Chain A
Amino acid sequence: MIINFTIKRVVNVSKVVCLWNTWDHEHLYYVHRQFGNAKMMYEDSKVAFIRTTVKLPFLPIYVNCLHTMTSIKNDNVLVIDALPFGVISKLEMIYNEIDPRTTELVNNYSLDVPVIFYPFKDLICRVITRWNDVNWEEDLPLKMRRQLAIDSNFVDFYGKSDKAVEASKQLKLPIPRTKDSILNN
């Protein structure tokens, strides 16, 4: 039984900033309280395969979760999550650039739930929506700040610099990490 629903939002930052936030897997551990551990299993410029422990809304425990993220275009990202309790979900995240400082994010959820869970459809949607809300609220300051940094001629792994060029404002995947990153250990 498939449950489909969509969450749309608009944010006043560039599309590159939104994509950067999604692909910065390391911040999951430090910023989002609903994530426990995070470990990168595999990553290249198109795919990221991450193992995390997550705390779902309304439940007091952390459970293991695998995330597979696949970029399908330069300006779109497809995220496939294998969620616990046998609920397999596909989340298609679409980033629509409205203007250079405004981006619409469309999250299309498809949840493949066993028939016995279908009576709980509304509850499942509420849990996922709440999950999305919390992540959004915690990520918003990062997006706004990242945009401010880019606008202030910031260069990653260096800082503010007169050497900042237009190319440094583009997103290159995968996002670099230090060797002692929590994702590597």
Chain B
Amino acid sequence: MSDLKQDQHKFFSDVFVDELLVYKHENEYFAISTFCPHFGGPLVLAEGKLNCYWHDWDFHLTEHHCINRRIDVKAKRYKVQLISDNTLEISE
């Protein structure tokens, strides 16, 4: 949680064999895979959206579907539970 001071934190999880982006949006925590479902590029949170610069794919901040291409794909989302003031539990 201390790493979430800037409302987002990225790390590689050996547990999930995945790189996760944890962020807070409108008082809700989200955890997603940073691998863009297109070709695996890096999803970053910037300017109010999730974007992959490889091919400029944007994803919805809370629903995680692609919002600028005519394709039905979603960024992989993990479950996040606020355990205490300084602990988040992330699960599949």
Q: Mark B2-24, 1 if CB is under 8 A from A, else 0.
A: 00000000000000011100000
B73 interface contact, C-beta 8 A: yes
Q: Cβ of B38 and Cβ of A157 under 8 Å apart?
A: yes
| Contact among A27, A152, A157, A158 for B54, CB-based, below 8 A | A27
B29 interface contact, C-beta 8 A: no
A26 interface contact, C-beta 8 A: yes
A26 to B55, CA, bound (A): 7
Q: Please list 8 pairs of residues, one from A and one from B, whose beta carbons are closer than 8 Å in the complex, sorted by A's number.
A: A27-B54, A30-B56, A148-B19, A150-B40, A157-B37, A159-B37, A159-B75, A180-B69
Q: Cβ of B33 and Cβ of A159 under 8 Å apart?
A: yes
A24 interface contact, C-beta 8 A: yes
Number of interface residues of B (CB under 8 A): 22
| Contact among A152, A156, A160, A179 for B39, CB-based, below 8 A | A156
| Contact among B39, B55, B71 for A146, CB-based, below 8 A | B39
Q: Cβ of B38 and Cβ of A160 under 8 Å apart?
A: no
Hey, which chain A residues are within 8 Å of B54, CB to CB? 27, 30-31, 142
Hey, which chain B residues are within 8 Å of A26, CB to CB? 55
> Top 9 nearest A-B pairs by Cβ distance?
A149-B40, A159-B37, A159-B76, A154-B40, A178-B69, A180-B70, A178-B71, A30-B56, A149-B35
Number of interface residues of A (CB under 8 A): 22
A153 interface contact, C-beta 8 A: yes
Q: Which of B29-78 contact A (CB under 8 A)?
A: 33, 35, 37-42, 53-56, 69-71, 73-76
Given A149-B35, A159-B35, output 17 extra A-B contacts at Cβ < 8 Å: A30-B53, A30-B54, A31-B54, A142-B54, A145-B40, A145-B42, A149-B39, A152-B18, A152-B19, A156-B40, A157-B37, A157-B38, A157-B73, A159-B73, A160-B76, A179-B70, A180-B70
Q: Cβ of A27 and Cβ of B55 under 8 Å apart?
A: yes
Q: Cβ of B17 and Cβ of A153 under 8 Å apart?
A: yes
Q: Which of A150-180 contact B (CB under 8 A)?
A: 150, 152-154, 156-160, 178-180
Hey, which chain A residues are within 8 Å of B37, CB to CB? 157-159
Q: Mark A42-69, 1 if CB is under 8 A from B, else 0.
A: 0000000000000000000000000000
Q: Cβ of B18 and Cβ of A160 under 8 Å apart?
A: yes
